[in-house]
A and B are shown apart, each in its own frame.
Chain A
């Protein structure tokens, strides 16, 4: 049995991570998927949320991701996401502001913003805050 697996996270513009991991929690479209070594081959669409993985050195990393695809095969986990940010890149104050704005747009349709887009924006802002929070929790 393998002790670790490779995790690759890429956006169309750049590679966010390529390293070994022993655990990962990935927001798939139909809910979070927990990944351990020797996971069965799997293909899925991704949802919006905070992705967390743990390296063999017991370091935890979090990223906020929004949509995309997940492939697991032969102990390689490949995450293709449309928008991805590492926890330390996330500006929490801005994410909170975005969240507030998006929530206002949902509650108050008079603002004229597309509700579906606003809901996605709410979840994306929440994911960013969550990813940043998890990264901060690890450091304490």
Chain B
């Protein structure tokens, strides 16, 4: 039977833990709201560029014969670049491990090819560093502050450059998308070579520049905006996941406190009962 003092100590420590998890939940909730706003405000650009791309691609393919633009060239996948987006910090439930598991599975499925990893987020770096896979780059400070366009730009420029030089034959991206408070959605996309979006309607534009030139300028922007979106989604999903995880941890701590308090009261009562018995039986012995 544990002593009264031990129980009191444990209750106190669990209460402290609950304080911390509660605070973390509140912080994540505030950050989530901001991250969600940023996801939403990046949306118009992504939608408009997609629509433009569809139209320009159509016009370019009509006027341009034979020659394909470098970012649309499909090569056999011998060297694949995989962008792995995790968080910088843990304590967010299965947020990071889901991504890492998906990345491992991807590598398994592409055994014939060489998969080079571009690791975004400290958790991804720590995980793959130990496993010494081929790593082409790592970014472990992006999520410490708010995600900026420049971050996406840096990553996009690097992969585009490597793709143009044919150092890599395709680029995939794995990460979390923000879906709801309770669940984030794991996404695995190919971003290069670009698959042109379906066009809806044929519009007879006046082109200030030749369509092929316009298309060549649009494609890198499209990739940048896709990567930016993935980063913003991941940031939002991370805060949502942490909020949910900390909520669960807080209510778990409350349960533990209840159970320990009950136990403590039992122990206390038992010791009081024992003392009374001792006194009573002592008095009885005197009679």
Instruction: State the A residues within 8 Å of B (CB).
Output: 8, 10-15, 18, 28-30, 40-45, 68-69, 71, 73, 78, 80, 82
Contact = CB atoms under 8 A, between A and B. Distances in A.
Contact of B149 (A11, A45, A68, A78): A11
Contact of B209 (A11, A44, A71, A80): A44
A85 B206 CA distance: 27
Contacts of B208: 28-30, 42-45
A43 B206 CA distance: 6
A69 B52 contact: yes
A29 B56 CA distance: 17
Interface residues of B, number: 29
12 contacts: A10-B45, A12-B225, A12-B228, A13-B228, A14-B41, A15-B45, A43-B207, A43-B211, A45-B214, A71-B48, A71-B52, A78-B52
A40 B206 contact: yes
Interface stretch (B10-18, B121-129, B137-145, B216-224): B216-224
A69 B224 CA distance: 14
B6 interface: no
A105 B60 CA distance: 38
B112 interface: no
A69 B45 CA distance: 11
Contacts of A44: 207-209, 214
Q: Which 3 A-B pairs have the closest CB atoms?
A: A44-B208, A14-B41, A10-B45
A73 B205 contact: yes
Given A11-B149, A43-B55, A69 B49 contact: yes
B205 A42 contact: yes
Contacts of B31: none
Interface in B36-54: 38, 41-42, 44-45, 48-49, 51-52
A11 B55 CA distance: 20
B80 interface: no
A29 B217 CA distance: 12
A18 B48 CA distance: 13
A82 B209 CA distance: 18
A15 B42 CA distance: 7
Contact of B203 (A11, A30, A41): A41
Given A43-B52, A43-B214, A69-B52, A12 B206 contact: no
B210 to A, nearest CB: 11
Contacts of B148: 13
A73 B209 CA distance: 16
B204 interface: yes
Contacts of B42: 12-14
Given A12-B225, A69-B218, A80-B49, A45 B44 contact: no
Given A28-B208, A44-B208, A15 B217 contact: no
B87 interface: no
Contacts of A29: 208-209
Interface in B84-138: none
B52 A8 contact: no
Contacts of A43: 52, 55-56, 205-208, 211, 214
Contacts of A15: 41, 44-45
B168 interface: no
Contacts of B152: 12
A62 B207 CA distance: 25
A11 B228 CA distance: 12
Contacts of A30: 208
Interface in B141-173: 148-149, 152
A15 to B, nearest CB: 5
A43 B45 CA distance: 16
Nearest to A78: B48
B41 A13 contact: yes
B41 A73 contact: no
Contacts of B56: 43
